[in-house]
Chain A
Amino acid sequence: MLEQLNKIFIDVLDDDEIIISESTSNADVDEWDSLNHIMLVVEIEGHFGIKFKSDEMLSWKNVGEMMDTILER
């Protein structure tokens, strides 16, 4: 799943160099601002065919927590 997420990050943030891990947070990636976060959410929802709850979207501290939520669905 990390690999799929990495691809979405590269695509949305438009940066081929991005390598994410479970501990990656928005402080580690320059382009990961609040606006692009929305784009990431929408793209991840579309890719996995899921919908996040509104209180989840801003709760993740890092990619790992994001993955936990995806796995819950």
Chain B
Amino acid sequence: MDADRLIYMDNTMKTFSELKKNLKKDVSQLTSIKIAVLGDTATQFIVQALKGEGIDHNINLQIWEADFNQIERQVLDPSSELYEYSPESVLIFKSSHKLLLKYNKLDLSNQPKLADSEMASIKDLVANIHNNISAKVIYFNYAEIDDSVFGNYASKTESSFLFQLRKLNYELMTFAAKNTNIDIVDLSSIQNTIGKLKFTQASIYINSEMIISIDALPLVAKRTVNLIAAQKGKINKCIILDLDNTTWGGIIGDDGMENIQIGSLGIGKAFSEFQYWVKKLKNRGVVVCICSKNTESVAKEPFEKHPDMVLRLEDISVFIANWENKADNIRHIQSILNIGFDSMVFLDDNPFERNMVRENIPDITVPELPEDPANYLEYLYGLNLFETVSVSNEDLERTKLYQTEAARVQVHSSFTNEDDFLENLEMQSTIQAFNNFNSPRISQLSQRSNQFNLRTIRYTEGEIKGMAESDKYFTFSFTLDDRFGENGLICVIILEKLDDNTIFIDTWFMSCRVLKRGMEYFVLNYLVSFAKEKGFSTLKGEYLSTQKNEIVKNHYKDLGFELQGSYYSLDVLNYQMKANHIKRKIIEDG
């Protein structure tokens, strides 16, 4: 199997013509996202590919396309069509071919300064966009062109084009690492994957200014839509692994622990490297679970005792090994993690199990793993399953969070009375206004929270900080800890002052991890006390329905608010405090 086929073995990868056919589908039910596309070469095809790919991700990309070569004019003019369109993301594609033309015209003394001067103008573009609209910039980095003027010596010649191009790509990464307003699509890596000769068709480029070939467009569109979806919080959070012939070679129940292939035994290298990949995912916050048809003690033994195992029990959030059907087991895992099936990936070497899970749980991602385990990793790299636009400290703690949640679930089953169980948890909550420390996490949650979210208004980190400083808004973040451990920041409230009497709950979202703990009572009690203290008489709330927030449809009604028109209203002065088992924890310097 050659490398090309490996990439396109991705059963979701379509050709450009197939993507174009998507454009005829009914998109009225899909999530709409407004995007602007600006390029210094022809962008018509990439726009079509993006729209088509978006539809396969249930996203209706509404794209405004700037006229050819209008990047600076649109960005620098505050009254431009770009700003009038007010997109959520601005995609900028400056091509390596145009960069090379620019370089070609430089005199010798300016060649070593190309990367710096380009970087300065990119920073200028990003700053200008940020000053005019609260849109994120999506920037295509530069696919490599080696003009072979210096041969290999280019790598040690600062004035060579290759040196400057690579420097620019590096500087872009450094800039993006410190700036939340820009995300990079790694076009250079895409060209590496499919090959330069395939990436640009010279004859077409010469005739049409089209840099990205028809064959390369679907992959470019896919990587870009992955990023756009991640900006919208559509990301995979969990990977569920089968064991025999997926995590190690051989069948533990038949072969015994000593004979499974891992490390240097047989084709064990393939599985060791696979496990390192999973471990890296876990270390960056992806939850790892096991779902295997095995006897539990037999399945766990290698995790505890095999010297070559990379994954250990402490890496696994939920470990399920039994003889039940896998769809039911995955539903059980989902109930513990409390995340959507559409954010879970299931890896299994057995086509029967894959189909069974796909049929029963349509939203879960089930990659069609290649037959030869040697190809697992390259195949999985190509799928780019774990796109993200941020990593917070919370992400890094996630495995532990879910392990303690699994422990809670077990203790819960030992109590028959719900109140006894909740009291036994010894829950404590800290309350803080938004500040520099919690703003990144709050904006991340704002992008990702779907289910327990009353209005689903997404805020960027910049907007979060803006509200923290505004007199018009009151901001609150809540944590929840119990005797099993910390849940971290799990609830966010933004109150907006409407007039002297009324305060509006602009934002109320909570992590689904803490459902059924009485957290909403604790929060409302606090909000009412706060409103009273500030002299407000009415707390006003609103429910905006989305595809995912059905569970909070009756939230305000259940809390005793009265429906008035399309809003809910609560009389603060006659409010009865709601009983719950959470105590406020006061922190020093709070």
Contacts and interface: CB of A to CB of B under 8 A. Distances in A.
Is A bound to B?
yes
Contact of A41 (B202, B204, B206): B204
Contacts of A14: 20
B17 interface: yes
Interface size class of A (residues with CB under 8 A): 10 to 19
B214 interface: yes
A61 interface: no
Interface string A4-48: 000000011010000000000000000000110011011100000
A57 B207 contact: yes
A49 to B, nearest CB: 14
Given A12-B17, A42-B214, A35 B44 contact: yes
B210 A54 contact: no
Contact of A57 (B17, B45, B203, B213): B203
Contacts of B210: 38
B92 to A, nearest CB: 21
Contact of A52 (B20, B203, B214): B203
A39 B202 CA distance: 15
Given A11-B17, A12-B17, A52-B203, A34 B214 contact: no
A53 B203 contact: yes
A34 B203 contact: no
Contacts of B208: 34, 38
B211 to A, nearest CB: 12
A39 B207 CA distance: 13
7 contacts: A34-B208, A35-B45, A39-B17, A52-B203, A54-B202, A54-B206, A57-B204
Contact of B203 (A11, A35, A43, A54): A54
Dominant secondary structure at the A interface: helix
Interface in B543-578: none
A53 B207 CA distance: 10
Nearest to B210: A38
A35 B49 CA distance: 14
Interface in B39-55: 44-45
Contacts of B44: 35
Interface of B: 17, 20, 44-45, 201-204, 206-208, 210, 213-214
Contacts of B213: 42
Nearest to B213: A42
Contacts of B206: 54
Nearest to A38: B208
Contacts of A12: 17
Contacts of A38: 45, 204, 207-208, 210, 214
A58 interface: yes
Nearest to A34: B208
A8 B208 CA distance: 21
Interface centre among A11, A52, A54 (most CB of B within 10 A): A54
A51 B204 CA distance: 11
B45 A42 contact: no
B508 to A, nearest CB: 47
A20 B20 CA distance: 23
Given A11-B17, A12-B17, A35-B45, A42 B204 contact: yes
B203 A51 contact: yes
Interface centre among A11, A14, A42, A53 (most CB of B within 10 A): A42
Given A11-B17, A12-B17, A42-B214, A58 B207 contact: yes
A39 B17 CA distance: 9
Contacts of A54: 202-204, 206-207
A43 B214 CA distance: 9
B10 to A, nearest CB: 20
A66 B44 CA distance: 24
A39 B203 contact: no
Contacts of A52: 203
B57 to A, nearest CB: 23
A46 to B, nearest CB: 9
Nearest to A53: B203
Contacts of A58: 207
A58 B20 CA distance: 24
A52 B45 CA distance: 20
Nearest to A39: B214
B19 to A, nearest CB: 12
